[in-house]
Amino acid sequence: MSGLVPETMQKVAHAAVGPRQGDKLKDLAHSTKDMTAEGRLTTDYGVKQSTADDWLKVVTKDQTGPMLLEDPFARERIMRFDHERIPERVVHARGSGAFGKFKVFDSIQDLTIAPVLTDTSRETPVFVRFSTVLGSRGSADTVRDVRGFAVKFYTQEGNWDIVGNDIPVFFIQDAIKFPDIIHAGKPEPHNEVPQAQSAHNNFWDFQFNHSEATHMFMWTMSDRGIPRSYRMMQGFGVNTYTLVNAKGERHFVKFTWTPELGVHSLVWDEALKLAGQDPDFHRKDLWEAIASGAFPKWKFGIQAIPEADEHKFDFDILDATKVWPEDLVPTRYIGEMELNRNVDEFFTQTEQIAFCTSHVVPGIGFSDDPLLVGRNFSYFDTQISRLGINFQELPINRPVCPVMNFNRDGAMRHAITRGTVNYWPNRFEACPPATHEEGAYVEYAQKVAGIKARMRSNKFKEHFSQAQLFWNSMSPIEKQHIIKALSFELDHCEDLLVYTRMIQRLADIDLNLAQTVAVAVGGESPKEGRSNPGRRAPALSQHEFPGKPTIQARRVAILIADGYDQVAYDAAYAALSSAMATPLVVGPKRSKITAANGANSTQPHHHLEGLRSTMVDALLIPGGTQSIETLSKNGRALHWVREAFGHLKVIGATGEAIGFVEKAISLPSVVVSSDGEAKDSYGVVTVKELRPESLKEVVEIAKGATGFMEKFFYEIAQHRCWERELAGLSDAVAY
Ligand code: HEM
């Protein structure tokens, strides 16, 4: 990926957002300082330092003698450095985050008293951290894994955290199993291999031994496990929470985020290559989009079930391995979140943010979901070892509303609380508890009856119906991807027992699925499978969320060499820029490239080795006899086209470039233009002779458009050309 957007641009984008009442950024300003040329280098205790380069030593012009331990400046620098690292998160160690705002547009006063969800005039600052689960802090972004989607709302009633994932269900039902699923998924204990992968014996051994994980592993094997961008993922609170309204009525709820840009994924070969070619792919994508003003947005949805209906479903609504199908419980979209500011410093913001599912505000509560209750304990506990007992005082974590209580002391305590008492009740009545009217959190008076036992209730014992529901709801292309993903993963398990048992398990979902994977992986093919009643829930397919048709913040490479067609190049560059896409000019070299007319030239952003086709969303090749001759003789250039074709990306070509594309892919079924009429064949968009209407700067994205640029933009907005894969064309090209 190219360099990050310059700081100046970021400032422009930030200025556009402007200051807001109650903004978390204002609160952070107290703890933020700028590096300037006016400031002088000092020690941590404030004394100016004369040099940062030389340790105090016994030295002459000709002789270097011993270094002196007496040098306090040098000692401070080294010792301070020695202790720079803190433990990485025990899970979700790799992540990146941003600031933004949340606004509710459809008050749910009928369900809750929480103003963050009822006051439509309110804008609540948020910080969101996206992450992978299994890899360590330095692992690659594009691995197959669940993505974390954690949102901290800095509400005026205190912090509320929704600590969710991009997948609506979880592997386990009971929090006591969390250490097991994580140990099994992380690198194996004897040799710490593999990093950030589920493709190994232990992960799949766990899956077989826990039939409750069947639904979730189908999600991770689907395209949801390899998102194109954090900006193009749904987010789910996963667990069942509760809302309580002014009448004291309680509803069970699930929370959902749906991205404006739609839900889109990488293809697997691309994800594998990116892990090496650009391990920060997702991190940079989010940063660049926000810095350039293409702020990602999500609609916030809730599914609500009245308390009285808790037992009306054939699954337990407290079981985190189950979704609430939308035909039974529709999603009501009530708010919107926008991310509009990058962090100023990664460590003090993205790394030190501490999410806890136990952070809820009045009107929002927990349920008896046995995963959630364990989580409520675990997050607070882990922050104590990761950040220390005073983690809530860190600037990124402190609430924007007043905090006052009798919690005291502990390592790195910051707040100085005046007064002679630190207990309640006290003779001064200092810091009394709040009443309900004053906004105190009052627990819902839930009636509880039962016996103490280590067991699960009956509905928790059914583990396959929703795995089947998910499989049945996939589009044909999504099914193909799941088959390929399972075939890849099980191929990486050398233990015969692991992969043969897993193939048997797949027959609990679908016999044909199990048999197809068995052929690929080499296991025994099952003869019988569990019966599948064929129920579907369309909203489980990510193709149900195409998003708004836009090419904003998409990266489009323009491939040129000396002698390129200036007119086609200029038109494409101008149109892409005005649509807020990112045109990236790529040539065989990064030094100046001269146009066919000899008068114009351009300096490419990258050369063909530096940027790879994996790092862009689409590819455009303007004509120009000499340029195309050069590119046609360049193996890397040919590979660029083949790889983009294999990864189902849109390829645009004008004039002589059409012959180059034909040579690269050599597939007669891809039809190209031979005159002034633009052709779109399996996402290869061509026009032989450019007409004036194709040179428009502002291009409308609409289906059925006739112009070259319109067709090209329309295809980019679709993300990938699935027809190409369905027709077997991408498999026919070596890439
Ligand atoms: C519904 C299932 C779960 C979801 C959606 C989920 C989600 C997440 C997310 C998004 C993070 C990263 C937060 C960040 O960005 O800082 C995280 C971290 C973590 N999760 Fe979970 N998790 C789940 C289950 C569990 C369970 C069952 C436990 C333990 C009983 C657990 C323990 C942890 C811990 C210890 C961390 C590290 C927190 C930190 O150091 O900041 N999670 N989880």
* Residue located nearest, by CA, to atom 42 of ligand 1: 375
SS3 at position 551: coil
Ligand 1, pocket-test mutation among 133, 169, 174, 178, most atoms within 8 A of CB = 178
Please tell me which residue in 159, 165, 340, 397 is annotated as part of the active site. Answer: 165
Ligand 1 site residues, Cβ closer than 6 angstroms: 89-92, 95, 129, 131, 148, 150, 163-165, 170, 175, 178, 238-239, 320, 354-355, 371, 374-375, 378-379, 382, 386
Residue 104 dihedral angles phi and psi, to the nearest 5° = -90, 130
Q: How many CB atoms lie within 10 A of CB 246?
A: 11
Please determine, for residue 460, whether its predicted confidence score (pLDDT) is greater than 50: yes
Pairwise CA distance, residues 72 & 75, whole Å: 5
What mean pLDDT value characterizes the chain?
Answer: 95
- Between 13 and 80, name the one with better pLDDT: 80
466 CA from centroid of ligand 1 (Å): 23
Task: Check pLDDT > 70 for residue 21.
Answer: no
Across the range 662-668, mean pLDDT stands at: 97
User: How far apart are the C-alpha atoms of 225 and 145, rounded to whole Å?
Assistant: 5
Task: Please measure the distance between the N-terminal and C-terminal CA atoms of the chain and give it in whole angstroms.
Answer: 20
DSSP type of residue 160: E
State the pLDDT at residue 19. Answer: 46
| Average pLDDT of the segment spanning 572-595 | 96
Nearest CA to ligand 1 atom 40: 89
From ligand 1's centre to the CA of 172, what distance in Å? 13
pLDDT reported for residue 132: 98
pLDDT at 700: 86
CA nearest 684: which of 700, 703, 699, 669? 669
Rounded-to-integer distance, Cα 658 and Cα 675, Å: 11
- The Cα 448–Cα 460 span in angstroms is 19
- Predicted confidence (pLDDT) at residue 17 exceeds the cutoff of 70: no
Report the separation in Å between the CA atom of 253 and the middle of ligand 1, taken as the mean of its atom positions.
19
pLDDT in tens, 688-723: 998 887 778 888 888 888 899 999 999 999 999 999
**pLDDT tier for residue 502 given thresholds of 50, 70 and 90:** very high
* C-alpha 139 – ligand 1 centre gap (Å): 18
pLDDT for 22 equals 54
The candidate with the shortest Cα–Cα distance to 141, out of 228, 215, 67, is 228
Q: Where are the alpha helices (DSSP H) in 605-646?
A: 625-632, 635-646
- The answer to whether residue 355 scores a pLDDT higher than 80 is yes
Section 442-461 average pLDDT: 95
Over 50: is that where the pLDDT of 189 sits?
Answer: yes
- Tell me what percent of the chain is helix, strand and coil, each rounded to the nearest 5: 35, 15, 50
pLDDT above 90 (res 362):
yes
Atom of ligand 1 nearest to the CA of 381: 35
Instruction: Confirm or deny that 682 is annotated as ligand binding.
Output: no
Assess whether 92 carries a catalytic annotation.
yes
Distance CA 464, CA 450 (A): 27
Which residue has its alpha carbon closest to ligand 1 atom 31?
375
State the pLDDT at residue 606: 98
What average pLDDT does range 446-452 have in this prediction?
94
Nearest to 240 by CA among 114, 374, 367, 327: 367
pLDDT in tens, 86-118: 999 999 999 999 999 999 999 999 999 999 999
- pLDDT above 90 coverage of the chain, percent: 94
Mean pLDDT value of segment 561-578: 96
Verify whether residue 376 is a known catalytic residue. Answer: no
| C-alpha 219 to ligand 1 mean position (Å) | 18
Rounded percentage of the chain residues whose pLDDT exceeds 70: 97
Task: Report residue 256 as tokens.
Answer: 């959902």
Q: Reply yes or no on whether the pLDDT at 367 is more than 80.
A: yes
30 band by pLDDT with thresholds 50, 70 and 90: confident
Output Rg (C-alpha) for the chain, integer angstroms: 29
Can you read off the two tokens belonging to residue 250? 């309680």
Q: Residue 628, by phi and psi: left (phi above 0), alpha (psi -120 to 50) or beta?
A: alpha
d(CA 653, CA 710): 13
pLDDT at 615 > cutoff 50: yes
Mean pLDDT calculated for residue range 325-344 = 97
pLDDT at 698: 81
pLDDT for position 6: 46
Note the pLDDT of residue 210: 98
Which of 86, 88, 92 maximizes ligand 1 atoms within 8 Å of its Cβ, making it the mutation to test the pocket? 92
pLDDT at 92: 98
- Local structure of 266: helix, strand or coil: coil
pTM above 0.90, yes or no: yes
Closest by CA position to 259, among listed 350, 160, 166 = 166
Q: Which of 236, 222, 86 is nearest to 149 (CA)?
A: 236
Q: What is the ipTM of this complex?
A: 0.95
Catalytic residue among 92, 200, 210, 606: 92
Does 11 score more than 70 pLDDT?
no
Q: How far is the CA of 118 from the centre of ligand 1 (A)?
A: 28
For ligand 1, atom 12: residue with the closest CA: 92
The string of pLDDT tens digits covering residues 509-524 is 999 999 999 999 998 9
Task: Label residue 4 by pLDDT band (50, 70, 90).
Answer: very low
User: Which residues, 6 or more positions from 626, have their beta carbon under 8 angstroms from its beta carbon?
Assistant: 561, 562, 563, 596
CA distance 512 to 528: 10
Pocket mutation for ligand 1, best pick of 165, 367, 379, 383 (most atoms within 8 Å of C-beta): 379
Mean pLDDT for 469-494 is: 98
Give the phi and the psi of residue 352 in degrees, each rounded to 5.
Answer: -85, -5
User: What pLDDT was estimated at residue 704?
Assistant: 84
Using the mean position of ligand 1's atoms as its centre, give its distance from the Cα of residue 90 in Å.
Answer: 9
Nearest CA to ligand 1 atom 41: 354
| Ligand 1 atom nearest to CA at 353 | 16
Kindly give the number of the ligand 1 atom that is closest to the alpha carbon of 90: 37
